[in-house]
Amino acid sequence: MHSGLQRSGASIPGSTAQSFLSVQGVSRRKTWAPGRKTVKQLEDEYHDSDEDVPEDAVIWNVPISPLEPFTTASRDPSPRRMSSLSSLSSNGQTYKHPSAPNTAVMAPHPNPHLGLPRSATTGSFPNEPFTDMFSLRERHRSWQNDLSSEAKQISLALEVHANKPSIDSKLNTPAGSPPNSALSRRQSNVSSLSLPPIQKSNVMIDPLPISKEKEAVLARTRPSWLPPKNKKEERKHLKEWERMMAHSAIADRRRAAKQLEELESSRQTKDNVERIWEDHVLPNWDAVMNEPRTRELWWRGVNPKIRGEVWKRAIGNGLQLSSTSYSKALERSSSLDEDVVKQISVDAAAAFPETGLFKEETPMHTSLVDVLKAYAAYRPYTGYQSCMTRPAAVLLLNMEPSDAFIALANTLNRSLPNAFLTNDRQGIDKWTGIVWSTLKYKYPKLHDHLIQKAQEVYGEELVRPMLESLFTRHLDLETTSRLWDVYVFEGDKLLVRAFTGVLGLLESGLYGTKEEILAVLGQRAAVLEVGTSGEVMKAVREAGKVDRR
């Protein structure tokens, strides 16, 4: 408290304010701060060079930053002050609010040397726009004086925009909490971005130890064995590095947002397709099977929840089997040779090992063994063959054992798989010829290589492993299921398209010797890495299209 005047934000009565301002020669006591830097010195010290500004850029009478700090540092963040902030419209225009009652209106004094009393605060002024207060607070010529009225409005709006987050946080933050201004957030974002490390010596290039003189000039953006950079160039490159890192972070966020959007879109599409299957296709099966839009549905994939029901209807039951047929076949399987039963158990445990669903002593393993034993007893003239294990596993994952047995028997009774199961030479030659002719049409260069440079591979030795197992041996479970979503509807011709499409995806790795080709497509080949199920189905669909030439 000085000269009997109390520091307070309360309003000064009108008569007192007028009499106080009428006193001549009263000025604010100067703060004693020896060696204090001037505004000009501070601006020169923290001045950033204009190296980032293009040479052909023209900047005239345009504010490029909010108001100067001294114009906003001492403003009272009272609700009345907040209302004056909110009085700014989005286009920078100001609107005067009615003055609060019992508040003195203080006009700027004509004497430019008149200072403000120490007890006078922003709470003592009426709720007027900022421009009226600038004239009271202004004590020297600012950069604002050279701005046009429109530029001042833009600068004013920019200052409000920069301070709005901090003002909102103050309104919603309990008293005593530290302010959280936009500047502090920008500084925290910059500080969170770690700078590149100082480039130390590389023993392979510069084996000699670094001297103290050289260590003092090591930079973050230049290797130690090159001449040092000057400080100006180092600052410029660090700014460029920070800008690159910021752009990279933005790109990563956009990429992640796009992936989330794609996942959400895919999920919604699957939900919509599932509803169409349940509400439209399954209740009206015979009526909608010949519609083109129904074909688009199975090419998009069947939802796993209804896949079993859809597959059963699409495969049909031309053999007129029933659950009773499965029970009787399972009873007759007790007469199977012990070695055959043991082989069935071993092959069942190896079905889709990445899932772990068919390990020994698991319920799925037991069910798969029962289905295979029942089929071997149902068709004794073909018996059990290893190529039928995985198709049976795919069916069992989507339906009950009795239904899986019926679907397996009807699937393997189709022309192409039956030809390989029964070793029908005429049927094998027929389908092998169709496969190679399709491959020659779509990929003539690959076809010529397999025929001319690896003639010993030509024939069923290359074609048989994929076709007899219905692609369950070479594709992962998800891709196999997607392929079967179409196969159960379109039949054996889909397998020809699938063979051509898969070889097209693997084309770059098939221009080798016989051993190299069989390592990819043979009986003992591992699961192929041909991309996602969507990519495989796209290639399969393209393989069946005729080029319009």
The secondary structure element, H or E, covering residue 160 is: helix 149-172
Task: List pLDDT tens digits, range 386-400.
Answer: 999 999 999 999 999
| Angle CA 66–72–75, to nearest 5 | 150
pLDDT of the residue at 207: 67
Lowest mean pLDDT among 169-173, 272-276, 281-285, 318-322: 169-173
417 and 408 Cβ atoms separated by less than 8 Å: no
pLDDT at 501 over 60: yes
Lowest mean pLDDT among 68-72, 322-326, 391-395, 448-452: 68-72
pLDDT of the residue at 366: 94
Give the Å distances, CA to CA, from 335 to 326, 338, 341: 15, 9, 10
d(CA 173, CA 161): 19
User: What average pLDDT does range 490-508 have in this prediction?
Assistant: 92
d(CA 335, CA 61): 99
| Angle CA 10–12–14, to nearest 5 | 150
The token duo for 515 is 């051993």
Residue 251, classified by CB atoms within 10 Å of its CB into exposed (0-12), middle (13-18) or buried (19+), is exposed
pLDDT of the residue at 89: 45
* DSSP class per residue in 512-531: S-HHHHHHHHSTTPPPP---
User: What average pLDDT does range 151-170 have in this prediction?
Assistant: 66
**129 vs 469, residue with greater confidence:** 469
pLDDT at 160 over 60: yes
d(CA 440, CA 446): 8
**450 vs 486, residue with greater confidence:** 486
Percent of the chain with pLDDT strictly greater than 90? 34
CA 453 from chain center: how many Å?
45
DSSP 3-state assignment of 5? strand
Largest CA distance in the chain: 123
pLDDT of the residue at 16: 43
User: In which band, very low, low, confident or very high, does the pLDDT at 93 lie, cut at 50, 70 and 90?
Assistant: very low
Nearest to 476 by CA among 523, 526, 542: 526
For the chain, domains (ranges, CATH) are: 14-19+52-179 (no CATH), 321-413 (1.10.8.270), 417-549 (1.10.472.80)
pLDDT of the residue at 371: 96
DSSP 3-state assignment of 179? coil
Which residue's structure tokens are 């009873």? 331
pLDDT at 347 over 50: yes
d(CA 398, CA 391): 11
CA 425 from chain center: how many Å?
51
pLDDT of the residue at 60: 61
* DSSP class per residue in 196-218: PPP----TTT--SPPPHHHHHT-
pLDDT of the residue at 266: 82
The token duo for 370 is 């029962």
**190 vs 521, residue with greater confidence:** 521
pLDDT at 76 over 50: no
d(CA 166, CA 177): 12
d(CA 395, CA 369): 13
484 and 533 Cβ atoms separated by less than 8 Å: no
Nearest to 299 by CA among 470, 483, 471, 500: 483
User: What average pLDDT does range 283-295 have in this prediction?
Assistant: 91
Across-strand partners of 2? 5
**522 vs 364, residue with greater confidence:** 364
Task: List pLDDT tens digits, range 229-281.
Answer: 788 888 888 888 888 888 999 999 999 999 999 888 888 888 888 899 999 99
| Angle CA 383–368–355, to nearest 5 | 130
Looking at residue 2, the DSSP 8-state letter turns out to be: B
Across the chain, mean pLDDT equals 75
Helix-then-strand count for the chain, H and E: 25, 0
442 residue type, one letter: K
pLDDT at 9 over 50: no
pLDDT at 41 over 90: no
The token duo for 342 is 């043991």
- Residues contacting residue 222 through CB under 8 Å, at least 6 positions apart: 199, 228, 229, 234
pLDDT of the residue at 62: 58
For the chain, report the end-to-end CA distance as a whole number of angstroms: 96
pLDDT of the residue at 130: 39
User: What average pLDDT does range 160-166 have in this prediction?
Assistant: 65
User: What average pLDDT does range 278-288 have in this prediction?
Assistant: 92
Q: Is the dihedral angle over the CA atoms 191, 196, 201, 203 positive or is it negative?
A: positive
Q: Which range is most confident: 94-98, 215-219, 380-384?
A: 380-384
pLDDT at 132 over 80: no
pLDDT of the residue at 526: 78
User: What average pLDDT does range 219-225 have in this prediction?
Assistant: 73
Q: Which range is most confident: 42-46, 101-105, 491-495?
A: 491-495
Helices assigned H by DSSP within 321-459:
323-332, 338-349, 363-378, 389-396, 401-412, 415-421, 425-442, 444-448
pLDDT at 458 over 80: no
499 and 462 Cβ atoms separated by less than 8 Å: no
Give the Å distances, CA to CA, from 543 to 75, 293, 437, 439, 539: 73, 20, 12, 9, 6
pLDDT at 19 over 60: no
The secondary structure element, H or E, covering residue 187 is: helix 182-192
User: What average pLDDT does range 78-101 have in this prediction?
Assistant: 43
d(CA 187, CA 183): 6
Task: List pLDDT tens digits, range 170-180.
Answer: 445 444 444 44
Lowest mean pLDDT among 6-15, 212-221, 257-266: 6-15
pLDDT at 65 over 70: no
- Residues contacting residue 521 through CB under 8 Å, at least 6 positions apart: 462, 465, 466, 474, 503, 506, 510
